[in-house]
Amino acid sequence: MPRPFGRFYLHELINSGGMADIWVATDNQGNTFALKKLLDKHKFSLIARSRFSQGCEILAKVPVHEGIVKYLEHGRMEGTLYLLMSYEECSNLKILQARNDPLFTDNIADILINVSVALEHLHDNGFMHLDFKPENVVVTRSGLVRLVDFDLAQPKPEKPRKMSRNPGTPAYMAPEQLRRLPLDHRADIFAFGVSAYEMLTYQKPFPGETAAEVLRQQQDRSNGFTAPRELNPDLPTALEKLLLRCLENDPDKRYPIMSSVVHELKSILYV
């Protein structure tokens, strides 16, 4: 049974995270949306409210792009912060890969390129995602890729800057993030490398249950790190080289900008 929320009706819970739920919602005209709603338990948390609002404001400022979920509005209703987005039937990459969905397996090259282009668009417009991972990339039934969840996004600094807080998912975080050092958009390039490695090999490059374990794996690659082509010999050598450069511990050894990754990916995968 639909439940009212302000001028909307909430129908189906499609995703539930640590900070917010996402619902399929309709208005009185029968239009369908994706509505993200801050969890009641965070109503009085200044940190959660600030993070949620900042994510909404950044998404609102990013020019419309086919690779990024479409922003419609955000605000407060019934005392609760919300974000209204366009709705499309979709699944995230983690789910699609886990079930070997043809939408994933048959389109892996296009997915890699399209999501790299979405990150490039975000960076070129002055922001970094800081929570890039397969769960935050969705694919529609028609194969369109969308980057979602901007709760941890930040303005891209002129030079690496230390963050006041350090949230994120350790397995996808760059070493400078895990060590709480100054960072910039190249942390997203590292996270892209981790995600692409996982998509192409079905394993994480730096497994670990805690941030400390992941960091230890990153720092000591002689013990446990496996080159992508050892796990998937079908990968082009040039693609393995690209992944390894994205995964450099030192940000200065990674690609300097996402546009370089996009350019190389296209030349490797569109042969």
Kindly list the catalytic residues: 131
Cα separation, 86 vs 10, whole angstroms: 14
Cα separation, 42 vs 67, whole angstroms: 29
Count the helix, strand and coil residues of the chain and give each as a percent rounded to the nearest 5.
40, 20, 40
* Residue that is written with structure tokens 């690779």 in the block: 67
Cα separation, 46 vs 128, whole angstroms: 22
Cα separation, 197 vs 118, whole angstroms: 18
* Collapsed DSSP state (helix, strand, coil) of residue 260: helix
- Answer whether 183's CB lies under 8 Å from 177's CB: yes
Cα separation, 164 vs 34, whole angstroms: 30
Cα separation, 162 vs 113, whole angstroms: 30
Cα separation, 35 vs 83, whole angstroms: 6
* Residue that is written with structure tokens 């805690």 in the block: 210
